[in-house]
Amino acid sequence: MNFQLVQSARKGGGARPRRGVWLMKGAPPEQKTSSAAPPLRLVVVLVVVVWISLLYYQFPMLAGGGGAPLVTVGRSDSADDPCRGRYIYVHDLPPRFNADILRDCRKTKDHWPDMCGFVGNAGLGRPLADPLDRVFTGENGWYGTHQFALDAIFHNRMKQYGCLTNKSSLADAVFVPFYAGFDFVRYHWGYDNATKDAASVDLTQWLMRRPEWKRAGGRDHFLVAGRTGWDFRRSTNIDPNWGTNLLVMPGGREMSVLVLESSLVHEREYSVPYPTYFHPRSDAEVRRWQDRVRGLERRWLMAFVGAPRPDNPKNIRERIMAQCESTDGCAQLGCALGTSQCHSPYKIMRLFQTATFCLQPPGDSYTRRSVFDSMVAGCIPVFFHGMSAYLQYKWYLPEDHAKYSVFITEEDVRTGNLSIEAALREIPPERVERMREEVIRLIPTVLYADPRSKLETVRDAFDIAVEGIIGKVAGDRRGGAAAVDHIDTTSATDNHNLSPWQGLGSRRRK
Ligand SMILES: *[C@@H]1O[C@H](CO)[C@@H](O)[C@H](O)[C@H]1NC(C)=O
Ligand SMILES: *[C@@H]1O[C@H](CO)[C@@H](O)[C@H](O)[C@H]1NC(C)=O
Ligand SMILES: *[C@@H]1O[C@H](CO)[C@@H](O)[C@H](O)[C@H]1NC(C)=O
């Protein structure tokens, strides 16, 4: 069953399970063997630590001068250095790998809606105006953000990161600001493989020639590819025309990657939230929003925003929409093909903030941007597939998913055996209240703050991603045991014979 998860491919593509399994099994040799020799590793770590401390003593400016703009690192306080273990070196890529791609946003016009409206304001898109009630406005931190704009947003957030260093030797991780998602879009429709891969080949060649690559063979590098993982693994997709081969080619496969939806069968592929429309500039703005959402009156039991998938008989959206239609407790936006209501941030957010539960069935892929929009509105998500969130956003969402969400199986919806409305009404009001409070607590962690300013103490999705990736990269570099741990919690190896939620069960006991 689980491999229905890979086989019923989405957003066009879809991995071949065998290939995925093979890739897992073919894990790099040192990850399998080095766990057998902890003492040796310890010695190596000690030597490195001593050596680095020596460096600090000899060349204090190595750490201070080169690095973090906000932090002074000296020999006396290197132990209390708040950036210790968190330094990031950002590759200074030629503009053809990022800025030029955005400048050519109009080039995609024949094949994709003009992206130019989405790349401004540090990747946030155009500020919203909200003529109706002035809630969702640019002044309040709301933008018409594209779901696939994370490449740019993340890069701009990184420029504000407090522990940057330009001494790559001191970096705990190396960030590669390549706009892989935008690169996908510009050549996806109507171009041949070579054109689709040109920038990826160019980039990986560039990286592998750099001295920074040598230290760990690229294992300490990471990039953001703000789409699903499937979109960058053409040669393992069922559809041989889908996507670039960035994450399959040499130089690409060594790096870690942050994606919006992980295939879960590949190492070093981690999921982060889709961008929402809300990009606050201060802690106060976040708190104000949380308070507002907490106090809202929710007149709908449940809501759904999305289009049916008539071409996919297994998709349950049609059934969800029919159930919604048949009750007074449910509201939905008309998203039949050709209407644009579903793309109006105002309409979407206004609906979500007046509903208690938001239905989040899979669409083209398992995950949805809508999940995060609805959570920002304080609406409790209802999931129908383990891949839609529980197996994906482990850095972000509580392991105990009953704390903030409801799970209903697709099968129950398909057979028509279960009334979603009845199932939701059965949940006692105190429990609903607690779940909503948890969703509201999670709001800051699932949004990306405005990259042009800085939250003070609140941690957003970027902060959590950076912490997560540094942990993984450092684990990888320490070698064996850590790397094996890492495979255990992120790969789908332990899922191969399980349905996603059974896998989840065994995972959660861990
Ligand atoms: C190193 O980084 C600092 C701030 O992070 C910057 O001001 C400086 O120009 C950089 N130096 C070089 C040689 O890039
Ligand atoms: C494009 O690449 C895929 C795999 O990477 C391959 O299966 C397919 O045949 C290629 N298409 C052409 C036209 O060469
Ligand atoms: C409800 O589900 C059960 C088992 O899943 C099945 O045997 C039964 O036929 C279903 N009833 C209806 C009305 O679909």
- The confidence score (pLDDT) of residue 16 equals 30
Nearest ligand atom owner, CA of 70? 1
**Full DSSP string of 405-466:** -EE--HHHHHTT---HHHHHHTS-HHHHHHHHHHHHHHGGGGS---TTS--SS---HHHHHH
pLDDT tens readout for residues 115-170: 888 999 999 999 999 988 899 999 999 999 999 999 999 999 999 999 999 999 99
CB atoms inside a 10 Å sphere around CB 109: 11
CA of 243 to the centre of ligand 2 (A): 10
pLDDT band at residue 175 under the 50/70/90 scheme = very high
Among 210, 227, 219, 201, smallest CA distance to 92 is for 210
Q: Which amino acid, residue 188?
A: H
Ligand 3 cavity residues, CB under 6 Å: 415-417
Check whether 502 has a pLDDT greater than 80: no
- The confidence score (pLDDT) of residue 252 equals 97
pLDDT tens readout for residues 181-229: 999 998 888 899 999 999 999 999 999 999 999 999 999 999 999 999 9
Check whether 501 has a pLDDT greater than 90: no
Q: Which two tokens stand for residue 387?
A: 């891949």
Check whether 27 has a pLDDT greater than 90: no
**Full DSSP string of 159-204:** TT-TTB-S-GGG-SEEE----HHHHHHHHHSS--HHHHHHHHHHHH
> What gap in Å lies between CA 205 and CA 210, rounded to an integer?
9
| Number of helices (H), then strands (E), in the chain | 21, 10
Enumerate residues 6+ apart whose C-beta is below 8 A from 265. 6, 15, 17, 20, 21, 23, 24, 491, 492
Mutate to test the pocket of ligand 2, among 200, 233, 241, 247 (most ligand atoms within 8 A of CB): 241
Phi first, then psi: what are they for 202, rounded to 5°? -55, -50
164 touches ligand 1 (CB under 6 Å): yes
Mutate to test the pocket of ligand 1, among 87, 166, 167, 212 (most ligand atoms within 8 A of CB): 166
Among 236, 249, 127, 240, smallest CA distance to 180 is for 249
Closest-CA residue, ligand 3 atom 8, reads 417
Contacts 24+ apart (CB under 8 A), 452-459: 452/121, 452/122, 452/156, 452/281, 453/281, 453/282, 454/160, 455/280, 455/281, 455/282, 455/283, 455/286, 456/282, 456/283, 457/283, 458/283, 458/286
pLDDT tens readout for residues 189-198: 889 999 999 9
Q: Which atom of ligand 3 is nearest to the CA of 416?
A: 14
Q: Which two tokens stand for residue 487?
A: 């495979």
pLDDT tens readout for residues 34-67: 333 445 555 445 544 445 444 444 333 333 333 3
Q: Which atom of ligand 3 is nearest to the CA of 411?
A: 5
Span 493-510, average pLDDT: 26
Average pLDDT of the residues of the chain: 81
- The confidence score (pLDDT) of residue 115 equals 83
pLDDT tens readout for residues 440-480: 999 999 999 999 999 999 999 999 999 999 999 887 776 64
List of domains in the chain: 50-80 (no CATH), 91-275+462-478 (no CATH), 294-446 (3.40.50.2000)
pLDDT tens readout for residues 332-359: 997 765 566 677 899 999 999 999 999 9
CA of 2 to the centre of ligand 3 (A): 22
Q: Give me the percent of the chain exceeding a pLDDT of 70.
A: 76
CA of 63 to the centre of ligand 1 (A): 12
CA of 66 to the centre of ligand 1 (A): 6
Residues 281 and 444: beta-carbon distance below 8 Å: no
Query: What secondary structure letter does DSSP report for 400?
Result: S
Q: Which amino acid, residue 29?
A: P
Closest-CA residue, ligand 1 atom 13, reads 166
